[in-house]
């Protein structure tokens, strides 16, 4: 399976942010075990670096964490066409649920 990993999954694992850290670490373990072929975007890498540096308050520890991450995932470019293609492959039910949820919360 191939997956783009969200910023928050990585941060939940690094910072042990409960209650999400357990699931996030399971995903990381699956990536390390090569059960998931994972990638992050360059923008995600930048966000993870910035937030992790603030959390760890150490440039050296942050770089160590980033190197560990980079040993597990690829970094990919995401173009406008990729975002548009995601809508084409997304479940129409999920899309409908998002629209309904946005209507309920007034967005």
58 and 14, same domain (yes or no):
yes
Q: Looking at residues 96-101, what average pLDDT do you find?
A: 51
| Structural domains counted in the chain | 2
Q: What is the pLDDT of residues 42-92, one digit of tens each?
A: 999 999 999 999 999 999 999 999 999 999 999 998 888 877 777 766 554
Q: Pull the structure tokens for residue 4.
A: 């783009």
Domain that holds residue 88: 79-107
Opening angle at CA 36, ends 77 and 5, nearest 5: 40
Report field, pTM of the whole predicted structure over 0.85 = no
Higher-pLDDT residue of 82, 93: 82
Burial 64-81 (b: 16+ CB within 10 A, else e): ebbeebeeebeeeeeeee
In the predicted structure, residue 8 carries a pLDDT above the cut 70:
yes
CA distance 25 to 31: 10
Q: What is the CATH number of the domain that holds 48?
A: 3.40.50.1010
3-state secondary structure 35-80: CCEEEEEHHHHHHHHHHHHHHHCCHHHHHHHHHHHHHHCEEECCCH
Q: Is 2 helix (H, G, I), strand (E, B) or coil?
A: strand
The maximal CA–CA distance of the chain, rounded, in angstroms, is 45
45 and 89, same domain (yes or no):
no
State the DSSP H helix or E strand holding residue 27, giving kind and residue range, or none if neither: helix 21-32
* First-to-final CA distance of the chain: 33
In the predicted structure, residue 40 carries a pLDDT above the cut 90:
yes
48 and 96, same domain (yes or no):
no
């Amino acid at each position: 399976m191939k997956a783009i990993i969200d910023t928050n999954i990585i941060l939940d694992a690094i910072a042990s942010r409960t209650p999400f850290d357990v699931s996030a670490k399971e995903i990381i373990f699956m990536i390390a075990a090569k059960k998931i072929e994972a990638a992050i975007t360059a923008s995600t890498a930048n966000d993870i670096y910035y937030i992790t540096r603030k959390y760890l308050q150490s440039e050296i520890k942050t770089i160590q964490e980033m190197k560990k991450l980079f040993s597990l995932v690829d970094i990919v470019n995401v173009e406008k066409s990729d975002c548009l293609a995601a809508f084409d492959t997304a479940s129409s039910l999920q899309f409908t649920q998002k629209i309904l949820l946005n209507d309920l919360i007034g967005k």
